[in-house]
Amino acid sequence: MNLTHAPLRAATGAFILNSGLTKLGADETTAQQLHGFASTAYPQFKDIEAGRFVKMVGIGEVALGTALLTPKVPSAIVGTALAGFGVGLLGLYARVPGLRQPGSIRPTEDGVPIAKDVWLVGAGATLGLQGFLNGTKRAARRTARKVGSAAETAHDALPF
């Protein structure tokens, strides 16, 4: 993990981990509300029992939050997961009626708590891209050193 990623990973990781732990302790009323909200945007969730659905979401959030807080998990991987999570939340914003002003992408008062999750997509994309590009640069440097070393060895082996 790049040290400059630590503040972003810590802030998002702690927030998402807390959200997941809260969902794991959700009561039936909260589970019904969250399930109904998600099922409006993603009808494929309608057939899943509300308590089970919220538990699955909670486990996913705990896993993502923990991965963000774990320095050994590469930023390219955890950033991609974070961006995907954020895109899923923005899907709620785009599909649930009443969250956007009519004919606009601007949020209503009710839509602001979901629309603000766009920062998750940006944070995830930043971590993912920087992690991938930094890894690519490191791999290129290692390859260049190996090629240089092999060329030097081959040169030294020449009989003349």
Q: What is the 3-state secondary structure (H, E, C) of 16-80?
A: HHHHHHHHHCCCHHHHHHHHHHHHHHCHHHCCCCHHHHHHHHHHHHHHHHHHHHCCCCCHHHHHH
Does residue 111 register a pLDDT over 70?
yes
Total-model pTM: 0.80
Query: What per-residue confidence (pLDDT) applies to 2?
Result: 80
Distance of alpha carbon 19 from alpha carbon 105, whole angstroms: 26
Q: Residue 49: pLDDT above 90?
A: yes
Identify the pLDDT of residue 8: 94
Per-residue pLDDT tens for 136-156? 666 566 676 666 665 566 556
107 - beta bridge partners?
100
